[in-house]
Amino acid sequence: MILILTQCFPPDMGGIENLMGGLVSALRAEGRKVHVLADRARGKGQIETVPDYPLERFGGPRPLRRWLKMRRAKALLGSGTITAVFADSYKSIEYLPPLHIPVVVLAHGMEFPQNPSARKHKRIAASFAKASTVIASSNFTARLLGNYLSPANHPVVINPPIGPQPAASGAMRTRLADWLGGHTPVLLTLSRLEPRKGIDQVIRALPDLLPRHPGLVYLVAGGGDDADRLKQLVSALDLADHVRFMGRVDDDMKAALFERATVFAMPVRREGSSVEGFGISYCEAAWYGVPSLAGSDGGAVDAVHDGVTGLVCDGANPHSVSQALANFLGDDELRQRLGVAARQRAHGELQFSRSIKTYIGFLEVSCDPQSGLESDQG
């Protein structure tokens, strides 16, 4: 049985949540048994269906839930039924002892500060030292990991895959169409609302775009601490008729938004130590044939291939963002070509069905089969 340790898991929404949920589904489709230990669902009003595999949730203050989860993990490892561990980040194995079984850990990028304290550096390095395999989400993340891994422990780069994405219901399509009226083109961002996502730069670009595209509307879906600042920016630029904040959306509305979008715009940038490690939402948009605008700082360049599946700009430069959006909206042939290529990639190499055997291979590396827990002797 494979033990899954994760802080982020459906029904909560987000890139890591989707990745871990997709991984569990893909492993089970391959006939593998899993046992998931996850943090409590954070979203209010989330409805969680009871899965047909063991899933245990842990709540309370962070130190308490980490302690409770690790106590349960150690009990499972001591039972002799666990053959491998898969963790969503170094934090999820930090309090585990060294193990005699494969331990695969994901690295995303945003969890590695540029100038960590000696104590934090030691914590991260010590956690990764317990891993038999570290999987980086992008080449950018792999470069960051060089400061934390031993020379013998090279990270493996696997761009996070996605599963098949759902079609929107007819009722939701009608609802969204009625809500939008005749507004077109449609720019879309679906993410947590935080400065590094570049939503403010898209808003600032709208006054330059509206003279040629007077029906343009920008839909911003998701919640986060940056919402008030962004709404104030919209008000200051008198753009209330062209920017609509959707809040958190369910899967049906999410699919309807992707189906309706002209361009998925998330020109990410670095904000202090906060940076995009990859960007699964670009790949989700690509499933629907929607090309993306990404930022050049971080790992988004692995998710969006410039001039092939979308465009890449300098997300910290307002003119660069505005010009890239103008190029998208002013060239139907370019947009269609990029959208077709994005769809082909999302339906092909980015599918879990293509990569799951690679993940399984790392979960089956040769290790001491005698016990999951390392002996205290010797």
Same domain, 194 and 302: yes
- Regarding whether 64 and 192 lie in a shared domain, the answer is no
156 and 190 both lie in a single domain? no
Same domain flag for 151 and 185: no
- Give the mean model confidence (pLDDT) for residues 205-220: 97
- Render pLDDT for 161-200 as a digit per residue (tens, 0 to 9): 999 999 999 999 999 999 998 899 999 999 999 999 999 9
Give the mean model confidence (pLDDT) for residues 337-344. Answer: 98
Q: Do 152 and 181 lie in a common domain?
A: no
Domain that holds residue 273: 170-347
Query: How confident is residue 101, by pLDDT bands cut at 50, 70 and 90?
Result: very high
Q: What is the pLDDT of residues 3-12, one digit of tens each?
A: 999 999 988 8
CB atoms within 10 A of CB 14: 18
Contacts of 110 (CB under 8 A, 6+ apart): 273, 274, 275, 276, 277
Residue 377: per-residue pLDDT: 34
pLDDT band at 330 (very low <50, low <70, confident <90, very high): very high
pLDDT band at 285 (very low <50, low <70, confident <90, very high): very high
Strand partners, 189: 220
- Give the pLDDT confidence of 227-255 residue by residue, as tens digits: 999 999 999 999 999 999 999 999 999 99
Quickly state the pLDDT bin for 292 (edges 50, 70, 90). Answer: very high
Residues 246 and 109 in one domain: no
Burial state string for 154-163 with b = 16 or more CB within 10 A and e = fewer than 16: ebebebbbbb
Q: What is the pLDDT of residue 373?
A: 53
Mention every residue, 6+ apart, whose C-beta is less than 8 A from residue 112.
Answer: 124, 141, 144, 145, 147, 148, 273
Q: Which of 31-45, 224-238, 308-322 has the lowest mean pLDDT?
A: 31-45
pTM across the whole model? 0.87
Residue 51 pLDDT: 86
> Token pair of 350, please?
């980015």
Q: What is the pLDDT of residues 108-151, one digit of tens each?
A: 987 887 788 999 999 999 999 999 999 999 999 999 898 899 87
In-domain check, residue 276: yes
Mean pLDDT in the chain?
Answer: 91
Q: Is residue 286 in a domain?
A: yes
Q: Are residues 105 and 197 in the same domain?
A: no
Name which residue leads in pLDDT, 89 or 50. Answer: 89
Residue 378: pLDDT band with limits 50, 70, 90:
very low
Given this model, what pLDDT does residue 35 score?
97
- CA 61 remoteness from chain centre: 24
Are 26 and 131 contained in the same domain? yes
158 is a domain residue: yes
Question: What percent of the chain lies above the pLDDT cut of 70?
Answer: 95
Q: What mean pLDDT do residues 96-101 have?
A: 92
Based on the domain organization, do 94 and 58 belong to the same domain?
Answer: yes
Of the candidate ranges 48-52, 132-136, 289-293, 341-345, the one whose mean pLDDT is the lowest: 48-52
Query: Is the same domain home to 8 and 125?
Result: yes
CA atoms within 13 A on the CB side of 326: 15
Angle, helices 251-260 vs 170-180, to 10°: value is 60
Query: What is the pLDDT, as a whole number, of residue 142?
Result: 92
Same-domain check for residues 80 and 144:
yes
CA-angle at 222, arms to 49 and 205, nearest 5°: 155
- Measured from the Cβ of residue 115, the count of other Cβ atoms closer than 10 Å reads 7
Cβ(365)–Cβ(133) below 8 Å: yes
pLDDT of residue 44: 62
Same domain for 195 and 159: no
* Residue 367 resides in a domain: no
Least confident of 31-45, 122-136, 224-238, 300-314: 31-45
Q: Is the pLDDT of residue 152 over 90?
A: no
Share of the chain above pLDDT 90, in %: 80
Say how many domains are in the chain. Answer: 2
Three-class SS state of 37: strand
What span, in angstroms and rounded, lies between the C-alpha atoms of 160 and 278?
8
Q: Specify the pLDDT at position 254.
A: 95
First-last CA distance in the chain: 28
How are beta strands 156-157 and 186-190 bridged, if at all? Answer: unpaired
Residue with tokens 């996070």: 160
Identify the CATH number of the domain in which residue 321 sits. 3.40.50.2000
What is the reported pLDDT for 275? 87
How high is the pLDDT of residue 150? 83
For tokens 């016990």, name the residue.
371
Give the pLDDT band (50/70/90) at residue 273: confident
